[in-house]
A and B are shown apart, each in its own frame.
Chain A
Amino acid sequence: MNPMDLVSRLVRSADDEAHEDADVRTDGGTATSERQGSGRGFLASNRNLVESLPFWLPPALLVGLFVYGAIGWNVLISLTDWEGLGSPEYGSLDLSMYAQLLGDDTFIIAFRNTLVLLIAFTVVSLAVGLVVAILVDQRIRFENTFRTVYLLPMSLSFVVTAIFWSWMYNFEIGMINQLLRLAGLDFLTQQWISDPQWKMAAIIFALMWQFSGYCMVVYLAGLRAIPTEQYEAARTDGASTLRMYWRIIVPQLRASTTSAAVVLMVFALKAFDFLYVLFGDTPGPSVDILSVMMFREAFSTTNWAYGSAIATVLFLMALSVIGPYLLTQYRRGDL
């Protein structure tokens, strides 16, 4: 809640209290007693409000200022023409930065790459996570060990994993090419993170490695919630294993899929650190994504307003992913 709103509400409620006392002393007419009733309810809720104040006000102020305030300020800057070392001028606000975006090929490419990363990374991670979850769900030995092993990459910093992967993808000494050569598959060796043709796939693969364990955990929880009779019913009805999973089990994992997909997509939109560690701020057109472009425009070329406009676009994309999810959760009464 806006702090000013809060203060004005508090002031109003104090006023109400004074009025109410006066009403009680004068007459007991219908109108007054109605007001009195509603006033008392308001008073009670205000007391709760005041008593709970110390708990929610500090975080509300901090979040309000540093998250929503910053978002608002960023939008404001994107409407100016601020660049270089001067200060922004808030006198003339317009959408010129957004117009510029639409005509900027770099932006179009970065936008497209962001969408490709978003969709491919999410789909691949979900698919791998689902398959691993189904395999781990077969009452195997050392199940907990496997679960931990698959989930472990998630706990590592992207800076660390990006450096690992940059070594592994190295053309000469990287593990992947070395293994391929060992297996006599020299023709498969690639300049994984230099060749524009392979760059995006290499990034998606590395991120999939890091995130599929998370998907596995989410799916495993979903699988465990399905009673064994569902499997038995499908089998007595004549379903093969593949059909049983495809038509009976996977459709029942819709909730798991949605929540994992939202997390993955939001991550994909802000997948900055991994790319920045691998390529710096100029990853080249094949893997240039909006978050890297935003950083480059704002902090390398000091086009502050332009960077802000890209940030706003990213924010709207994130909102369009998470908004519908929150809305359906809210409608179902889960929030």
Chain B
Amino acid sequence: MGDVKLENVTKRYEDVTAVDNMNIQIHDGEFVCLVGPSGCGKSTTMEMVAGLTMPTEGTVHIAGREVTNLPPKDRGVAMVFQNIALFPHMDVYDNISFGLRLRNFEKDEIDRRVDKAAEVVQLEGMLDRMPDEMSGGQRQRVAIARAIVRQPDVFLMDEPLANLDAKLRVHMRTELQRLHKDLETTVIYVTHDQAEAMTMSDRIAIIDGGQLQQIDPPLECYNQPANLFVAGFIGSPSMNFVEGEVTENGFTSEYMDVEFDPSNYGVSAGDKVTLGVRPEDIYPAESGRSISSPTGEIRTKTDVIEPMGDEIFIYLLLSEEVETDLEDPAASNQLLISVPPDSDVEEDQDMSVVLDRNKIHLFDTESGQAIEHSLVASPAASGASGTSGAESDD
């Protein structure tokens, strides 16, 4: 059984709190990604599961056993590191079997397990190679074999693919998923790459500033982000944010208004809110008529156009001049939208867009917490191609 439970885990270094009161429960056989920007505490969290760092407060349980103060070797965990960390003076066989030899396994048993692990990661016939004679991908597979061979309760992977080139990374991503399906062992996987987290995991734990922001299945994090941070972090390109205020008629800001009845959404006039909408949920006004519940038209001007091949990204200006604030994207006057590749767009054109009311998120600007993930009171309520929100508010 490889379930992992962190209870009120805190790690403080002198005056820095790296991990702040973390509570995570990971079920047996689950693949959970810890994701967040550099320095958010995700690696420290993993190190505390591994036993490489001891928590200042709180407890860690692995497989139902408290392991808070146990050394790494007694926790039933195996780790794969970002820089691979193969022992350069040992050949592949010795690298893979190192942990078993330390535990005084029989030679036959070691051979059997090493052969099996090498087979799983497709390294047969390479057991007598030295690490410096192998490619990056092969070395990473040795590192994974080194973890598999111990048959741990939990695999801990700390950005294992970060040092590989882009193509190999995508390939190894699939390999890891296949491996997880075969072994059915719990995996905790640290990454700063949200795409990696989205594609691989059963659940994503998004961490920022040492605190757990949300832990949910990937699509839930994507569609129902718990707060502004999660909304901005998950998804590429990032969600658009517009800061504004609630009025009697809905949302208003310097650049755009969206009508709705505040009383249906637990907000009241005067509340400071941030409206969030993903690039794919904004449509040019003419094609927007086909969606079930568009908002009123918003007048914009096209700025930069980025054809990606399978879609086109258009940066729209909500006023005449660019007012980008890199520190606070919500304060800028830009909207990024994505349109089909065959769309006919040019720079510096006037363009009216509509937002899909089903996919508009509202956040409390102050606390960042999500208030609503849809401005359609109930999915069946609308259907008309109206331009105002009033009719969909029941």
Q: Residues of A at under 8 Å CB distance from B?
A: 227, 229-230, 232-239, 243, 247-248, 251-252, 254
Could you tell me if A238 and B83 are in contact, using CB atoms closer than 8 angstroms? no
Could you tell me if A233 and B102 are in contact, using CB atoms closer than 8 angstroms? no
Contacts of A254 in B (CB 8 A): 89
Could you tell me if B89 and A237 are in contact, using CB atoms closer than 8 angstroms? no
Q: Given A234-B98, A238-B72, 4 more contacts at CB 8 Å?
A: A230-B85, A232-B52, A232-B81, A235-B51
Could you tell me if A233 and B85 are in contact, using CB atoms closer than 8 angstroms? yes
B77 proximal to A (CB < 8 A): yes
Contacts of A234 in B (CB 8 A): 87, 98
What is the distance, in angstroms, from A25's C-beta to the closest C-beta of chain B? 57
Could you tell me if A236 and B102 are in contact, using CB atoms closer than 8 angstroms? no
Number of interface residues of B (CB under 8 A): 24
What is the distance, in angstroms, from A228's C-beta to the closest C-beta of chain B? 9
Nearest residue (CB) in B for A253 is B89
Contacts of B89 in A (CB 8 A): 251-252, 254
Q: Give complex CA distance A239, B83 in Å.
A: 20
In the A-B complex, the 4 residue pairs with the closest CB atoms: A238-B73, A229-B85, A237-B99, A229-B81
Could you tell me if B87 and A229 are in contact, using CB atoms closer than 8 angstroms? no
Kindly identify, within residues 44 to 86 of chain B, every residue whose CB is under 8 Å from any CB belonging to chain A: 50-52, 71-73, 77-79, 81-85
Nearest residue (CB) in B for A235 is B72
Contacts of B150 in A (CB 8 A): 237
Nearest residue (CB) in A for B74 is A238
Nearest residue (CB) in B for A237 is B99
- What are 19 of the A-B contact pairs (CB < 8 Å)? A229-B82, A229-B83, A229-B84, A232-B72, A232-B85, A234-B98, A235-B72, A235-B73, A236-B51, A236-B72, A236-B79, A238-B73, A238-B99, A238-B102, A238-B103, A239-B98, A243-B102, A247-B98, A251-B89
Nearest residue (CB) in A for B156 is A236
**Main secondary structure on B side of the interface with A:** loop
What is the distance, in angstroms, from B11's C-beta to the closest C-beta of chain A? 16
What is the distance, in angstroms, from A105's C-beta to the closest C-beta of chain B? 45
Q: Give complex CA distance A235, B78 in Å.
A: 10
Contacts of B51 in A (CB 8 A): 235-236
Q: Give complex CA distance A235, B98 in Å.
A: 11
Could you tell me if A236 and B50 are in contact, using CB atoms closer than 8 angstroms? yes
B357 proximal to A (CB < 8 A): no
Nearest residue (CB) in A for B71 is A235
Contacts of B102 in A (CB 8 A): 237-239, 243
Within 8 Å by CB of A232, from B79, B99, B103, lies B79
Kindly identify, within residues 327 to 363 of chain B, every residue whose CB is under 8 Å from any CB belonging to chain A: none
Within 8 Å by CB of B87, from A230, A232, A236, lies A230
Interface mask (B22-60 → A, CB under 8 Å = 1, otherwise 0): 000000000000000000000000000011100000000
Nearest residue (CB) in A for B84 is A229
Could you tell me if A248 and B87 are in contact, using CB atoms closer than 8 angstroms? yes
Q: Give complex CA distance A10, B317 in Å.
A: 75
Q: Give complex CA distance A233, B156 in Å.
A: 11
Nearest residue (CB) in B for A250 is B89
Nearest residue (CB) in B for A230 is B85
Q: Give complex CA distance A227, B84 in Å.
A: 10
Q: Give complex CA distance A230, B143 in Å.
A: 12
Contacts of A233 in B (CB 8 A): 79, 81, 85, 87, 146
Q: Do A237 and B73 form a contact, CB below 8 Å, given A232-B52, A251-B89, A252-B88?
A: yes
Nearest residue (CB) in A for B73 is A238
Q: Give complex CA distance A126, B83 in Å.
A: 30
Contacts of A251 in B (CB 8 A): 89
Q: Give complex CA distance A241, B98 in Å.
A: 15
Nearest residue (CB) in A for B75 is A236
Q: Give complex CA distance A247, B73 in Å.
A: 16
Contacts of B103 in A (CB 8 A): 238
Interface mask (B234-251 → A, CB under 8 Å = 1, otherwise 0): 000000000000000000
What is the distance, in angstroms, from A307's C-beta to the closest C-beta of chain B? 45
What is the distance, in angstroms, from A318's C-beta to the closest C-beta of chain B? 29
Q: Do A227 and B85 form a contact, CB below 8 Å, given A236-B72, A236-B79, A237-B146?
A: yes
What is the distance, in angstroms, from B46's C-beta to the closest C-beta of chain A? 11
What is the distance, in angstroms, from B186's C-beta to the closest C-beta of chain A? 15
Could you tell me if B83 and A236 are in contact, using CB atoms closer than 8 angstroms? no
Nearest residue (CB) in A for B150 is A237
Contacts of B85 in A (CB 8 A): 227, 229-230, 232-233
Contacts of B98 in A (CB 8 A): 234, 237, 239, 247
What is the distance, in angstroms, from B52's C-beta to the closest C-beta of chain A? 5
Q: Give complex CA distance A248, B90 in Å.
A: 9
Within 8 Å by CB of A236, from B73, B82, B84, lies B73
Q: Give complex CA distance A235, B72 in Å.
A: 6
Q: Give complex CA distance A260, B259 in Å.
A: 78
What is the distance, in angstroms, from B257's C-beta to the closest C-beta of chain A? 53
Q: Give complex CA distance A279, B50 in Å.
A: 59
Q: Give complex CA distance A248, B86 in Å.
A: 10
What is the distance, in angstroms, from A334's C-beta to the closest C-beta of chain B? 16
What is the distance, in angstroms, from B205's C-beta to the closest C-beta of chain A? 21
Contacts of A239 in B (CB 8 A): 73, 98, 102
Residue from the set A227, A234, A238, A239 with the largest chain B CB neighbour count within 10 Å = A238
Q: Give complex CA distance A233, B83 in Å.
A: 11
Q: Give complex CA distance A237, B71 in Å.
A: 11
